[in-house]
Structure formats: structure tokens, C-alpha cells
Amino acid sequence: MPLGQREGDGKSESRYCGVETSFSDDMPDLLAFSLHGGFDFIVPPLMDPSYRPSLMDTGSNGSGPLPFAGSDLVLSPSQWSGHVVGKISPWIDLDSEDEVLRKDSEITLKQEIAWASHLSLQACVLPAPKGVICANYARCVNQILQNLNHMQLWLRIPLEKPDDDGIENPDFMYGGQVDSWEIWNSFRLLCEHHSLLAVALDVLSSLPSMNSLGRWFGEPVRVSILNTNSFLTNAQGYPCLSKRHQRLLTGFFNHSVQVVISGEATHDFASRNVQLGVNNDEDHSEGTQEHSLRAYLDYVGYLYQRLEPIPEQERIEIGYRDYLQSPLQPLMDNLEAQTYETFEKDTSKYVQYQRAVSKALLDRVPDEKASSVTTVLMVVGAGRGPLVRASLQSAEETGRKLRVYAVEKNPNAVVTLHSLVKLEGWEKIVTIISSDMRCWEAPEKADILVSELLGSFGDNELSPECLDGAQRFLKQDGISIPSSYTSFIQPVTASKIYNDILTHKDLLHFETAYVVKLHRVARLAPNQPVFTFTHPEYSSERSNQRYKKLRFELPGDTGSALIHGFAGYFDATLYKDVHLGIEPSTATPNMFSWFPIFFPLRKPICVQPGTPLDIHLWRCCGSSKVWYEWCITSPVASPIHNSNGRSYWVGL
């Protein structure tokens, strides 16, 4: 039975908990016992541990049956695929100096995975590499991956704890100890980032720093193997986990990582129970024997049920997590009704706009002139009218008189605007202008210019170019809402996103900036500001081209990390102290109009501890398009991405 029900996240794989078992000749009994004990799946060895190809009778010329446990008929196909994750023999060592062991290991690995694939298992757990050099192991796994269609291979990696004081890096050493992330990184690079290769993390009794652990949230971790030795004992003699282990497990739950309980019961309450496995003298199916690891399972379930409920907005966005979308082209393309409707539901955004307009009206018109002065407000890029409505509500709230021009280039949205004005009785207040704001000649100057032209990176939907064209009909002392906006970036590990781009097998997709609801990512350093635009901008040297070099340094206790690209955000000042944005530290609560932007790297960059990461970003402007170029110059030089806007650009 799953660990619990989390509202809005019922499909999360982290609800299911498995148990690692020893080898058994009676797979149906083993499975029934484990399922009756509350576990959702088992992780058993697929082959008798005593099997070695070199010890087999050579007289059979290889035609003899392999000594697997029973046959595929002992369980139904749905049981194999839904309740069994295979475990490859842990003795294999494909990088051994012993040639016989090495050959036996390769034969066994291929036999077991072929059998697992025949059984239609969803995944197999590969044993951890025996050393830091695992090239032959990776080569064999990579060969196997080329012929797999669906089954995942989970490489077992122990969460080794590096020392935090003193940083050295010879041969994957960190602080004088092996950094297990380095072993994983080497293995996946040798396997060319194959999408079916993932991680099974062995969670030990001691853990690295939280910064070091944070790297794994951007990696394809499918399961955390929680050994009973990692548990503490509470006052009642039952198992519990340290605060650090609890935080780690909570993070795994939130990233759909499943838990597998491994080891023997080590707590006093369980001393009367049998060892993990099958006791053929007992009738397990009738439930006469409690599973020796049930208390560990119950504790993991308790932690799962303690999770904070997923906020309503997060539940809506679950389907968009790590899903790549091309940014909007609002100048080139007319938005569809469904797109307008989605954005119009974002009440948090329009509450902020209404606050900004109200403050601007109060500053613009003193109380004694409220009944005699009419403020001219222009909404440029009015869409289907949400900013018009917010502005008129601000006028009503502040008791100010308003005359509104709603400028919109999309003729389809203009139809809706006319209908809205008639429906609301705004004919004497609102004038609708069907025109591109850059071409319209206004009959009078505006006191306030309001727009919602911002993109995920602030300027990426060409707000600077549009507002530069519109500010000519703003009074010299007029107010622009927004008045400024700044973009931010930070380096991230994002294996899933990188692998999704990799499937396209072309340059274009690696040189495109995507809008994406980031989820399975590791944010490796605090974000830094990139480009700032201010409106109105009356400088004679005004240019919307920008260039920025940024230096990031990963926290010293993080260890090495692989950079797949940069996450981008924005923060906008609408008016005075009224802000709007998605920059994580100042993000507007419950706002969903913008997801972060992601700038990928064609080839991920590995950053060692203490080594700075230098990022260069350009905003380039041509006669008909605007585009970004980006690269890394330290610790190694990358190609300049998207040169001359060859792959990704925004049309003017």
C-alpha cells in the first residue's frame, strides 16, 4: 500500500516504497510476503549468487538453461512489471585486474539484463562501481543501453561523506575522500547522458553537507536506498531518522524519488521477527508473520504524510514541470484566446498592477483636484482588457477621474475589447485603438503608460523596444508602469531538461532559450543580476543592446557539479515600492503568468570546488530581430551559443 495520499500529487512515484531482499527460489512467496508487509515492490537478485559463467559445464556448449530463479511464468506480467525491480549480482567487477572475473562479470551483466528485459521489468539496479575508474563497466552498460527500449538501469551510488575542511581533487578525491558524485558523473559521461541511465542513491548513516546533497536534486535520481543502519532509535525503541536525513528524504519526496528499505532489522522491537527474506516454515500469505522491516516502512510513511500540502497553484502546474516551451513571440504572432484566458486568471499580477496605478494616481492628482483633473492613461498592449479593468478599478478606489486609451495590435483581441467596453458601459471613458503602439500617433500625451509586455527574462518579449516606441506619447513628467525591470541568472544542474533537448540531436535546440517550470534542478549558486531597463528612457545614447560577464562561485562544501545551463528570472518595479517578478528571493506569491527561462549549454561543464564559473551573456539587436548569445570562459571555454541569432531570435 502506498505511503500515503498527498492532495494533488497522487501520481507521484515517491508514494511507493520498496524493500531490498535476498535471493529466493520462491519468487511468488517472497513477493506476497513483502506486499502483505506493506511494501509496494521488491528489489531481489535475479540470479543465484553462486553462479559464475567460468564454473559452468563447458560441455553443454552454452545450450544449458541459465540458473535463474524459476521461470517467467511464476509471476504474471503485471506483477513482474509493477512489483519487481531487478538487482544485478553485486559481485560483478568489470574493471577488475582479474581477467576471469572481468569476463564473468560482463557475461553475467548482459545475461541478467537480457532476462530482466524479457520479464518487462521497469528497472534494474546496477551494482556500484568497485573503484573510481570504471571505463569498462560503463562501456558494457552503454552497449546494453543501445538495445533497451523502455527498461531503466539505475546505477547504485553510495552517498559518501567528504570532509568539509580542506579541498583536494586528485582522482575524484574531495577533502581526502572519494566524492561519489564524481564517480556518477564519470559514468554518465562515458554513457553519453543516456536517458535510460539513472541513479539509485545509497543513503548512509552519515551524510555530506546540504550543499553537496543539493547537487542530486538536478540528477536523474530514481530511488533512495535507505539502509536500516541509517536509522536512530527513539525513546520507545522504534526507528527514526536524524533531522538531516529527514530533510533529505523530504526533498526526495518532492522530487518523485522512491524509497527502498534495505538491510536487517536492528532495533530491539524487531528482535523477535525473522530476518529479511522468506521463512518457508511460515504461511506468509495468511499474514501470520509480520515483516521484520515494517516499522521502518511505517516511519517512512509517517514522514511522507507530514509533507506540506501542495499549494493549489503548484498542483495546477505539476503537468508543466521540466516541460520545455518556446517563449512567446508577441510581436510576430497574435495570441490565441486560450492564451489570453490563462494569463487573465492570474489575479496576483493584476492586484499588483492595480496597486501601482492607484499609487501613481494619488501622486499625480492631489485630493483637492480629484474631481476636476482627468488623468490620461494609456494601456499599450491591452490584450482583452485586464489592465484596462485594473486601471479603472484603481480610479474608482482612489476617487480619481480617468480617460483611457487601450492600444492593441491583435485585431481578434480588439473585437473582444469592443465587446467588453460595451458590456461594462465604458464607452465615454475608454477609447480602443487597433494599432501597433510603435506606429500609432496619439491625439494627446499620456500621464501614465501601463503595459504588461514582460517575459520570463524581463526583456525577452521585447518590452524595451515596444516601450521605446510608445514613450513618445508620454508626457515629459509622465509615469511608466513598469518603471524598470532586471533579469537574473544562475547556474543549474538539470539532467532531465538536458536529456530532453538531447533527443532532438541538432544544434538549434541547444541554442534556444526555453520557458520551463523548473523542478528537478539543482540551483548551484545564488542568482546574479544581468540586464536592467528603465522607462521612460530619454537618454540620447539609448541602446537596448547589452553585454554582461558574471562570475559564480559554488559554495566550498558543494563538491564538483555539472552545469547544464542557466536559469533566468526577472524582477520588475511597477511603481515605487510595488514589485512584480519571479526572481526566487522576491517572487510575487501565487503568480503563474511566467515560468523561468532556461539557457542550455551544448556540452555540460563540470565545475570543480574552488574554481570560478565565468558566464558571458549578450543581448543583440538587429533591424528585424533581437537575440541572445551566451558562453562560458571558465573553467573551460565553451562555444558561443546562438551566434548572430542563427537558432533562436525574437522578431521585431
Nearest to 263 by CA among 298, 233, 238, 228: 228
- DSSP code per residue over 62-79: T-SPP-BSS-GGGS-HHH
Strand runs labelled E in 352-445: 374-380, 401-408, 430-434
Alpha carbon distance 485, 467 (integer Å): 12
- 3-state SS record for 588-613: CCCCCCCCCEEEEEEEEEEECCCCCE
Annotated binding-site residue? 396: no
Backbone phi and psi for residue 248, each to the nearest 5 degrees, phi listed first: -65, -45
Query: Is 641:631 a contact under the CB 8 Å cutoff?
Result: yes
Q: Does 137 carry a binding-site annotation?
A: no
Contacts of 143 (CB under 8 A, 6+ apart): none
CA Rg value for the chain: 30
For residue 461, indicate whether it is catalytic. Answer: yes
9 marked ligand binding residue: no
Nearest to 45 by CA among 60, 29, 27, 18: 27
Helix (H) or strand (E) holding 515: strand 514-515
Nearest to 379 by CA among 455, 462, 461, 466: 466
Beta bridge partners of 493: 522
Residue 349 among known ligand-binding residues: yes
User: Would you state the cell numbers that stand for residue 606, as one nine-digit string?
Assistant: 563540470
Q: Do residues 223 and 249 lie in contact, with contact meaning Cβ atoms separated by under 8 Å?
A: no
Burial group, residue 554, by CB count within 10 angstroms (0-12, 13-18, 19+): buried
Contact status, residue 395 vs residue 374, Cβ threshold 8 Å = no
Length of the chain measured in residues: 652
Instruction: Give the closest residue to 603 by CA, choosing from 510, 505, 492.
Output: 510
437 is in an annotated binding site: yes
CB 82, CB 89: distance < 8 Å: no
Q: Supply the DSSP string of 183-211, one letter for each residue.
A: HHHHHHHHTTT-TTEEEEEEE-SS---HH
238 appears as a binding residue in the annotation: no
Residue 171 CA, distance from chain mean position? 30
Q: How many CB atoms lie within 10 A of CB 199?
A: 23
Question: DSSP states of 566-579 as a string?
Answer: EEEEEEEEEETTEE
Among 452, 465, 511, 583, the one annotated catalytic? 452
Residue tagged active-site, from 106, 112, 160, 461: 461
Query: From residue 322, how far is each of 5, 220, 223, 503, 548 by CA, in Å?
Result: 23, 12, 19, 15, 27
Strands 514-515 and 597-607: antiparallel
- What cell does 247 get? 530533510
Task: Kindly compute the dihedral angle of the four CA atoms of residues 297, 302, 308, 314, in this order, to the nearest 10 degrees.
Answer: 30
- Residue numbering of the annotated binding site for S-adenosyl-L-methionine: 340, 349-350, 408, 436-437
Q: Which residues are catalytic?
A: 452, 461
- Residue numbering of the annotated binding site: 340, 349-350, 408, 436-437
